[in-house]
Amino acid sequence: MDDYTIGVLTNVGLFSFLALSAYLLLVVGEMSFGQQAFFGVGAYAGGVLTALYGVSLPLAALGAMALGALAALAVGLPTLRLKGLYFAMSTLAAAEMARILFELLIFQKTVGGETVGPDGTQGFRGIRWVFERGVEPVEYLAIIYALLAAVLIALLLIERSRLGAVLRSVGSDSELASALGVNVGRLKLGVAAAAGALAALGGVLYAHHNTYIEPRNFDIMLGVHSLAYALIGGLGTALGPLVGVALDIGALEGSQVFGGTRMIVFGGLVAVLLILRPRGLLDERAVQWIKARFS
Amino acid sequence: MLDLAQNTLDGLALGASYSLLALGFTLIFGVLRRMNLSYGPAVLFGCYCATWTHLNFQAGLIALAVVTIAATVLAGAYVERLCFAPHRRGSAVAAMVASFALWMQIEEVAMLAMPRHIYPFPQLFEGAPLQFAGLSLPGDALVMLAATAAVCVLLHRLLYRSRFGLAVRAAIDNPLAASLAGIDLARTFVLVFALASAIGGLAGYLIVASHGQVTPMLGMWSTLKGLLAMMLGGLGSLPGAVLGGLALGLIEAHSQWFFGPQARDLVAYLLLFALLAARPAWMTRWTTIRSAS
């Protein structure tokens, strides 16, 4: 594989974590504009742990995921009882606050005669744990996809289980689910925490791929993109968000056919697609059809 | 004390522009119950068309205002056809994501046509600001305040004193009964959308004409400020949108003075977050354009 293909595939993998994070909340009927904040928390936390304190990447990733889950709980606790747009807006406000806090965050240390660490709007340079250990881009790509595969298998198993059915029932009618004895509030909090951890994992991997991050990377555009990916791909299966990411980053950006007009093509495609399939390509009906066909 | 008064005045002038943006946003949300993320980008498109006209034809201020509003309405009509007409009975999330997709599209078209990061725009007033009792108020701020007040009055008249307004209020109260009574809902929604876009275009024109420049950030900026002001004033209420815009302007002006420019946005978002989490009664009371006048 040439470097360009590896780069595109890596990005598809990285943003899939974020799209899955948005998807998880959509499944339980909540729309979040703020998952990019947890992606950012993961990126910053992971970067600080490896670059400033010499923690190994796997440990840093676990730490960042824990922090991402905690941050998601902190946002979800006061807001998850809000309905629809109110919840979406509160997550947007929280995420923009996080971005501004990244801009204000200056936390630098001298490591090996070099000053590293988050430097406010100047960004955070030198997250080189992966680079310094001589991990080849292809190997890093394999690591990303191995993790993504593990997450996907877990999600697909959950979807087949009783828990999956409960989650879907909360998403389609939370009052009915609550009347049937489901603790909707606790379930949604759990999903929000899992989604936060998942976004943070993507963030850690993103930071170590780019070696440089800045607050602007985690703005509202990224959040709405991840929401769009989940919705285009389809809400019927965890594979849906991946289809969305692959379509935009893989097929349109990667092919370079459209050059500077990619967003025009992508935008039009999405709008028309949503008219034809309001719940995405792989919606619940499509998934059932495929299951009936191949089982 | 004088600083406080001056900041309040600046905040009100800034807030008037947010109010105007929020009025257009709220009109769409209040009537269609759908969120139009492409609202700001349509404003950007209008302002870019006016800038293009200015660069090529040296058009006057009024001609530029007309071009801005017309082009914003055109972009709005495109968004309505592709994102809102097909999803009228369907999913609100799908409509919103579709409007985001067109945001990307409109912004890309504008950037391809005029790729520079900043373009000059003829200023509304070149002269010195008005002075009274130690306070100063720039001429364009005065125009902004006057325009916002005028739009409020006209909008109130239109909604509560005309057949069109009656149709709009009926459509909000009970769409089914309204259509049974012979109101053409599709046509009403299209007109509301056009009206909202025209208000957005006017807001955009006044904002870029007082800044004296246009940047591609205007699209996202307009959507975010309009949304923030709309949410602060409750959701979908027109008086709320005006108050929310003014409140946002005041909050920004004062927090910038006390805590600096970065904290300005932080305070605004923090307040919105706290308000949403606490959900005081007034945020939900005004949730629709009231049917009684």
List chain B domain ranges. 17-125+137-220
Which residues of chain B have a CB within 8 Å of the CB of A261?
108, 112
Which residues of chain A have a CB within 8 Å of the CB of B107?
263
* Cα dihedral: A245, A247, A250, A256 (round 10): -140
Does the residue A96 lie in any domain?
yes
Least confident of A20-24, B49-53, B195-199, B283-287: B283-287
Tens digit of each residue's pLDDT (9 = 90 or more) over B67-114: 999 999 999 999 999 988 888 887 888 888 889 889 989 988 998 888
Burial annotation B266-290 (CB, 10 A radius, 16+ → b, else e): bbbbbbbbebbbeeeeebeebebbe
A213: containing domain: 3-218
CA–CA separation, A284 and A234 (whole Å): 8
Contacts of A280 (CB under 8 A, 6+ apart): A230, A231, A232, A233, A234, A235, A236, A240, A244
- pLDDT, residue B277, reads 85
pLDDT band at B290 (very low <50, low <70, confident <90, very high): low
Does the residue A248 lie in any domain?
no
- pLDDT, residue B200, reads 95
B33 compared with A253, residue with greater pLDDT: B33
Interface of B with A in 263-282 (CB under 8 A): 265-266, 269-270, 272-273, 276-277, 279
Give every residue of chain A whose pLDDT is below 50, as ranges: none
Does the residue A37 lie in any domain?
yes
Does the residue A278 lie in any domain?
no
Tens digit of each residue's pLDDT (9 = 90 or more) over A189-199: 999 999 999 99
CB pairs under 8 A between A and B: 112
Q: Could you tell me which chain A residue has the CA closest to the CA of B223?
A: A220
pLDDT band at B284 (very low <50, low <70, confident <90, very high): low
Contacts of A131 (CB under 8 A, 6+ apart): A211
* Cα dihedral: A137, A121, B18, B120 (round 10): -90
CA–CA separation, B152 and A233 (whole Å): 42
pLDDT band at B292 (very low <50, low <70, confident <90, very high): very low
Which residues of chain A have a CB within 8 Å of the CB of B101?
228, 266-271, 274
The domain total for chain A is 1
B85 CB near a chain A CB, below 8 Å? Answer: no
Which residues of chain A have a CB within 8 Å of the CB of B108?
260-264, 267
Tens digit of each residue's pLDDT (9 = 90 or more) over B261-281: 778 888 888 988 988 888 766
Does the residue A279 lie in any domain?
no
CA–CA separation, B256 and B226 (whole Å): 19
Supply the ipTM of this predicted assembly: 0.88
